[in-house]
Structure 1
Amino acid sequence: MTHLTRCHLNPARARHLTDSPQRLHAAVAAGFPPPPSGQATGHRVLWRLDETVHQPTLLILSPTPPDLTHLVEQAGWPRLATPDTPGWDTLPYAPLLGDLRAGQRLRFRLTANPTRAVSRPGRRGIRTALTTTADQIQWLLDRAAPAGFTIPADERTMPISPYVTVSATRALRFPRTTDSGSRRDVHLRTATYDGLLDVTDPDALRRTLTDGIGHGKAYGCGLLTLAHLTR
């Protein structure tokens, strides 16, 4: 069973989290119990921060429902929380996954870490961020077919282009403590895509929705969400 959770954050209290994917990753992880001793975690948790001027919203896709009491206390509206409205909503994802059909056209949003591997003679290749809008869109187009969808043409544009925009980008730099205890800076460039997609392979798209797309998943990248078209 997969669940989608939505938690609205208080912009006046959440900045210490929304400014740092590392701290927000830790806050998301704290919403789930640790695995039994000696066992690896069975969770594949994806998350994304959707930010507007007045309302940051955290989305979490997870195999089990999270408990975000700590997050509401740190960065939400704890005095407004009640047992019936704790400050977040969790819904089963199975209805959406089961409703996917080839030929459907849906809206989508994705925040991803578009990169390419640059080879170096005699050394390991280095992963480099794509910085232009054209390269970022091409990165997504290259991954669409294996992910179970295509992006239709937007015939309103001239020349005709894919029906997708890069609505936001962020260049992030934050410290990370490694397993050995050392610290190093992480550089992460993200792109948020909004557009339309056509379902071509429902099974592949279901895997994409639960597994994510690209790198940087621990830091809020890879979660693809869908919505039905409205008039």
Structure 2
Amino acid sequence: MYLTRFRVNTARADARRLLGSPHRVHGAVNASFPTPPSRDGSGPRVLWRVDRNGTSETLLYIVSPGRPDLTHLVEQAGWPASDEPGWTTFAYTDFLTALHPGDTWGFRLTANPVHNIRHEHVKEGERTKRAAHQSPRHQMDWLLKREEGAGFEVVRKPEERRLLPEGDVHELIVRDQTPLQFRRASETTRGNSDVQITKVTFDGRLRVTDPELFRRTLTHGLGKAKAYGCGLMTLAPVLGKGEA
């Protein structure tokens, strides 16, 4: 497994056009591999995420079973005349193998928190409609309900650090919420189709509970819309362990 970081040159019109459509970024990421990994669920998949850190830096992160070649992205959305390579790829397997129960990490996750709704006129057993969670509280609940199956738990705050009487229990914030609508070329019908998703970025602290399940989360993604920049969780060291 590999973790790759690419800095996007947002001063270029082609870069801004690329970032304007998750479908275009999906295609550019897939083009980084001679043979993209299978998406049938049998193994790790290619995950990606765009982080906009203020106005100064936009980064594309990719987690993949194979090492990517981002030469085409440097030419389209980077600094092709620079002496710097344009992207950095890290070996990820050793890091994943070293994860143990009780390890505490800071994390960032961009996801597509959704739930199924059934309109009043729809009969029991008929198809429901997928809808995005809109409030930060429901978005956080969506993530917290997936902790156990994903091999981690979000760290709880000590009572003296809880600022609200309810809903302020965990080391977790919703940093960004972005509703997106874009067009993609349909693979089954002629022409294009509209895609609507809501991307939510979570920042927080977690504790590993089941390393095997957690490795799967980091390499297979969490939630829906993985092809469009959702599902990738990255980790960062924290100063100390525990709940303080």
User: Aligned residue for 2:104?
Assistant: 105
Whether the aligned pair in 2 keeps the contact of 1:149 and 1:199 (CA below 8 Å) is yes
Whether the aligned pair in 1 keeps the contact of 2:44 and 2:220 (CA below 8 Å) is no
Q: Does 1:172 align with 2:180?
A: yes
Q: What TM-score, normalized to structure 1?
A: 0.92
Give percent identity, aligned residues only.
46
Closer/same/farther in 2, CA of residues 185 and 40 from structure 1, 3 Å limit: closer
Match of 1:211 among 201, 220, 240: 220
Give the Å deviation of 1:98.
1.3
Q: Distance in 2 between matches of 1:181 and 1:107?
A: 44
Structure 1: runs of 5+ lacking an equivalent? none
Whether the aligned pair in 1 keeps the contact of 2:39 and 2:45 (CA below 8 Å) is no
The amino acid of 1:139's aligned partner reads W
Q: Does 1:44 align with 2:52?
A: no
- The equivalences for 1:45-194 within 5 A come to 45-52=46-53, 53-81=55-83, 85-120=84-119, 121-122=122-123, 123-155=126-158, 156-158=161-163, 159=165, 160-179=168-187, 180-194=189-203
Q: Distance in 1 between matches of 2:112 and 2:58?
A: 20
Q: Does 1:226 align with 2:235?
A: yes
Whether the aligned pair in 1 keeps the contact of 2:32 and 2:70 (CA below 8 Å) is yes
Q: Secondary structure at the match of 1:161?
A: coil
Give the Å deviation of 1:34.
3.7
Q: Distance in 2 between matches of 1:74 and 1:114?
A: 31
Whether the aligned pair in 2 keeps the contact of 1:106 and 1:197 (CA below 8 Å) is yes
Give the Å deviation of 1:119.
2.7
Equivalent pairs, count: 225
Closer/same/farther in 2, CA of residues 118 and 58 from structure 1, 3 Å limit: same
Q: Distance in 2 between matches of 1:208 and 1:76?
A: 30
Give the Å deviation of 1:230.
3.2
User: Aligned residue for 2:11?
Assistant: 12
Structure 2: runs of 5+ lacking an equivalent? none
- The equivalences for 1:193-204 within 5 A come to 193-204=202-213
Closer/same/farther in 2, CA of residues 131 and 40 from structure 1, 3 Å limit: closer
CA-based RMSD of the aligned residues comes to: 1.9
The amino acid of 2:219's aligned partner reads T
Structure 1 segments, 4+ long, off by >3 Å, are 39-43
What's the CA shift string for 1:9-33, capped at 9, x where partnerless? 1011221111110111111111111
Whether the aligned pair in 2 keeps the contact of 1:11 and 1:54 (CA below 8 Å) is no
* Structure that is richer in strand per residue: 1
Q: Distance in 2 between matches of 1:102 and 1:227?
A: 16
What's the CA shift string for 1:153-204, capped at 9, x where partnerless? 1231233411100001101000111112231110010100000001110111
Q: What TM-score, normalized to structure 2?
A: 0.87
User: Aligned residue for 2:34?
Assistant: 33
Q: Distance in 1 between matches of 2:72 and 2:218?
A: 27
